[in-house]
Amino acid sequence: MGTELLAPLDLAFWHLESDAHPMHLGALAVFAPDGDRPPAPDALLELLGTRAAAIPRLRMRVRDVLLPVGGAAWSADKDFDVHRHVKRVRLPEAATAGEGGAGFMGAATLLAGELMEQPLRRGLPPWQMYLIEGAPDGPFAVLVKLHHALADGMRAVAIGAGIFDEIASAAGRPVPSAARMRTVPPRSWMPGPRQVAGLALGRIEDLGRAFGVGASLVRASRLDLRGAPALSASSSGTRRLVTADLDLEAVRRIRRAAGGTGNDVLLAVVAGALRRWMLERGEPLPGSDPRALVPVSRRRPGRAAPGDGNRLSAYLLGLPVSEPDAWERLRSVRHSMDRNKSAGPLRGAGAVAVLADQLPSLAHRFGAPLAGNAARMLFDVLVTSVPLPRSALSLGGCPLRALYPMAPLARGQSLAVALTTYGSTVQIGLVADGKALPDLERLGRCAEEEVAELLTLLPVSTAP
């Protein structure tokens, strides 16, 4: 049975994990009941299990290998049992009371935060799904957890999409048996003669790029970590999830007036929300603007081979929380992101993932704790955007109403922000250390207030 070595960056994610800092991505998908005849929970659970089992990547587990020293490989789990991974959770009826599903959302997000605290069990394929039930005639949710070694954001979307009616029906493939579990062919570890020269030249170029990134990393590292106390904390191992919704058309109106991209607007909204939140907490604004790590996918849409590992880089962005004018904050973000994009995703200190790709397996195994502790010296908060299919999605005939992505927390940090767009809404998942940020709900409201303020500052010519 074929195996596939973990790519260096995947290996780094695998070894970065600790009990207090699980390295899994997540998403909370919320569905509306299907008219007068919603599917029974048992049927939904069976549907989830069947579709998850039909995704070959979800049958792979990580095992150690002798060579390369310190390495690991993906291998098909011969004892794969989807029931170990797909669980059903029923919320107490009293906890879900409320108009319009508000009670359900509050209870579901609270539960999702608690479930995100728990590391995925090693020795099994590193993923989990939970069917979260509320009232019999009310909404329900599916929480998905995927280890970051298994997927980056784009691949997580591709894997998760396999549970939706539209994608599963289009695939039309049966659930594979354990005897047919070879998901990817084994890699050839010996290149042919014609490949050697090209590989050597490519290696020299990669090492030169890694040296440049390493130098940028040293220059960008900070010894004074007192800049943004609200965003740093000794980890309690707890997690909270808070969600927020922004009107997509409002974001587009702001973008049309300001130029740049929709992502620039969203980054400026995060900066403004952090400013409002810090001031309302009675905290002095940091002496230097907090840094955001903004991941960038290096994966070309539609070109990723089944065995490809994480393909990531990132930009570093100073979030202008010290700027009192919302429109100036947006301009600052736009100009900074323009500079980042001009340099490209393979340069600068934010491209630390590129550097990780050049390190040997043994360095990842023994250096991961040091790397995890050093993250605080480079950035204060992760802000990531996750693309979703543009089509309307459903599960068992029940329409998807919202999907809130969740990012992992780095050591020494108390907040991670993930955003996605579905339908007419930008949906935000705020993941925080539960004890460090007990007022996380207020930060979500601050994001909505920031959009409202930007709208009031629009030039008259852009009014609808």
- The pLDDT value given to residue 119: 93
Sheet strands (E) in 298-447? 312-318, 381-386, 394-395, 398-406, 415-422, 425-433
> Given pLDDT bands bounded at 50, 70 and 90, which one contains residue 171?
low
- The pLDDT value given to residue 191: 46
Length of the chain: 464
C-beta neighbour count of 20 within 10 angstroms:
15
> Which of the two residues, 260 and 350, has the higher pLDDT score?
260
Which of 138, 147, 124 has its CA nearest to residue 61? 124
- The pLDDT value given to residue 198: 45
> Residue 343 and residue 372: Cα distance in Å, rounded?
26
- For 272, residues 6+ apart whose C-beta sits below 8 A from its C-beta are 321, 326, 329, 446, 447, 450, 453, 454
pLDDT beyond 70 at 464: no
**Quick one: average pLDDT of 184-211?**
44
**Quick one: average pLDDT of 410-423?**
91
**Quick one: average pLDDT of 19-48?**
88
E strand or H helix at 132:
strand 127-133
> Residue 391 and residue 259: Cα distance in Å, rounded?
26
**Quick one: average pLDDT of 183-206?**
42
Burial 192-222 (b: 16+ CB within 10 A, else e): eeeeeeeeeeeeeeeeebbebbbebbeebee
> Given pLDDT bands bounded at 50, 70 and 90, which one contains residue 278?
very high
Percent of the chain with pLDDT over 90: 48
Query: HEC states along 279-326?
Result: HHCCCCCCCCCCEEEEEEECCCCCCCCCCCCCCEEEEEEECCCCCCCH
Quick one: DSSP state of residue 5? E
- The pLDDT value given to residue 261: 94
Cis, peptide link before residue 306, omega less than 30° from 0: no
Quick one: DSSP state of residue 93? G
Cα first-last separation, the chain = 60
Query: Is residue 267 within 8 Å of 352, Cβ to Cβ?
Result: no
- The pLDDT value given to residue 151: 85
**Quick one: average pLDDT of 150-164?**
83
pLDDT in tens, 208-240: 555 455 555 555 555 455 556 678 777 788 999
77-86, 172-181, 202-211, 214-223: range with highest mean pLDDT: 77-86
| HSE, side-chain direction, 13 A CA sphere, residue 6 | 33
pLDDT beyond 90 at 245: yes
> Given pLDDT bands bounded at 50, 70 and 90, which one contains residue 100?
low
- The pLDDT value given to residue 67: 84
pLDDT beyond 60 at 451: yes
- The pLDDT value given to residue 445: 95
C-beta neighbour count of 81 within 10 angstroms:
12
Helix, strand, coil % in the chain, rounded to nearest 5: 40, 20, 35
C-beta neighbour count of 274 within 10 angstroms:
29
pLDDT beyond 90 at 243: yes
How would you classify the pairing of strands 24-31 and 398-406? antiparallel
Instruction: Give the CA-trace dihedral at 108, 115, 365, 64, to 10 degrees.
Output: -110
pLDDT in tens, 359-377: 667 666 666 666 666 666 6
Instruction: Give the CA-trace dihedral at 247, 248, 253, 254, to 10 degrees.
Output: 80
**Helices 361-378 and 8-16, axial angle in degrees (round to 10):** 70
> Residue 149 and residue 151: Cα distance in Å, rounded?
6
- For 162, residues 6+ apart whose C-beta sits below 8 A from its C-beta are 51, 52, 54, 55, 168, 171
Quick one: DSSP state of residue 459? -
- The pLDDT value given to residue 301: 53
Query: Is residue 241 within 8 Å of 27, Cβ to Cβ?
Result: no
Sheet strands (E) in 165-253? 239-247
> Given pLDDT bands bounded at 50, 70 and 90, which one contains residue 114?
very high
How far is C-alpha 423 from the geometric centre of its chain's CA atoms? 19
User: Tokens for 380?
Assistant: 């204060």
Query: Is residue 455 within 8 Å of 254, Cβ to Cβ?
Result: yes
The phi, psi pair for 193, rounded to 5°, reads -55, -40
pLDDT beyond 70 at 174: no
- The pLDDT value given to residue 324: 96
The phi, psi pair for 5, rounded to 5°, reads -60, 140
> Given pLDDT bands bounded at 50, 70 and 90, which one contains residue 36?
low
| HSE, side-chain direction, 13 A CA sphere, residue 45 | 16
**Quick one: average pLDDT of 147-171?**
80
pLDDT beyond 60 at 179: no
> Which of the two residues, 268 and 208, has the higher pLDDT score?
268
pLDDT in tens, 291-331: 999 988 776 554 444 445 666 788 889 999 999 999 999 99
> Which of the two residues, 393 and 100, has the higher pLDDT score?
393
How high does pLDDT run on average in the chain?
81
In this prediction the pTM is 0.86
How far is C-alpha 169 from the geometric centre of its chain's CA atoms? 26
E strand or H helix at 147:
strand 140-147
E strand or H helix at 27:
strand 24-31
